[in-house]
Amino acid sequence: MEQAIKARIPIRIKNVENPTGEGTIIFPDSISRKGEETPTYPPRHIRLRSQDPLLRERLKRPTAVTIKNNIVVLNIHSNRKSLSHGFLANIFSVLDQWRLTVDLISTSEVHVSMALHSEDREQNLKDAIEELRKCGTVDVIRDLTILSLVGKQMKHMIGIAGRMFTVLAESKVNIEMISQGNFPTIFPFFTPLAIGMANNGMIATGASEINISCVVRETDAIRAMNILHTKLFIYQDSP
């Protein structure tokens, strides 16, 4: 596949469980741009040369909805015995000591919320929690799932975060934590929905442009995924 990428040849990825399906095509960019080697739609010169319906320019919309189960969220509130930078440094030092990887994180001067995969190094997680209690109070919430809406250049899909969380709110899916990659602000609006999310969970920014993630109860995960797929993929006709 590396040779096809270097030769700028489109690659079609097929599902082994559905070999007759159309699959997904990854297109080379007509002009190489740092951090954007794959365009959000087929380049014009490729569309003009092919009759393949998959090569027609599409509306900007997410690509997939994914879930990751067995998530635990740690909420750590500083005991104010150290400066704010010392508080964060101590937390990350503990995570490094016990070799724990954080999936999502939200920080403020005296508060940190982290989502971790609870099945990995369970004993290490328990030991780390005891160590973190030296930094302040630690609340542990288990049986959670990371729900992610994935798509190329998500930050250019205006209003997609609002639609995602509105759909979840209308379906009574409670949000524990939110992470949006590379947006100036998480919500380009300030509504009762956003206020409620800020009160009930943590709003975080990340470093990715390809997903919006939130943490929900594991019991709501499959329902939430199906709801987003139905509302944002099947019935969503606007870009």
Mean pLDDT value across residues 163-170: 92
Tell me what pLDDT residue 188 has: 31
**Strand 11-13 relative to strand 24-26: parallel, antiparallel, unpaired?**
antiparallel
Q: Are 84 and 128 in contact (CB under 8 A)?
A: no
Which CATH code for domain 71-143? Answer: 3.30.70.260
Domain spans, the chain: 2-55, 71-143, 145-234
Q: What does pTM read for this prediction?
A: 0.66
What distance lies between CA 15 and its chain's CA centroid?
A: 23
Measure the CA–CA gap between 43 and 119, rounded to whole angstroms: 42
pLDDT digits (tens, 9 = 90+) for 10-54: 888 888 888 888 887 777 765 455 545 545 455 555 554 555 555
Closest CA to 209 of 184, 233, 232, 230: 184
Least confident of 56-65, 93-102, 145-154, 216-225: 56-65
Question: ∠167-169-174 over CA atoms, to 5°?
Answer: 125
Tell me what pLDDT residue 141 has: 94
Beta bridge partners of 181: 206
What CATH class is the domain 145-234? Answer: alpha beta
pLDDT-based confidence at residue 214 (cuts at 50, 70, 90): very high
E strand segments, the chain: 11-13, 24-26, 64-78, 102-107, 111-117, 136-150, 175-181, 202-206, 211-217
Lookup: tokens for 44: 């014009």
pLDDT digits (tens, 9 = 90+) for 81-106: 666 678 888 999 999 999 998 999 88
pLDDT digits (tens, 9 = 90+) for 188-200: 333 333 334 333 3
> In CATH terms, are 71-143 and 145-234 the same topology?
no
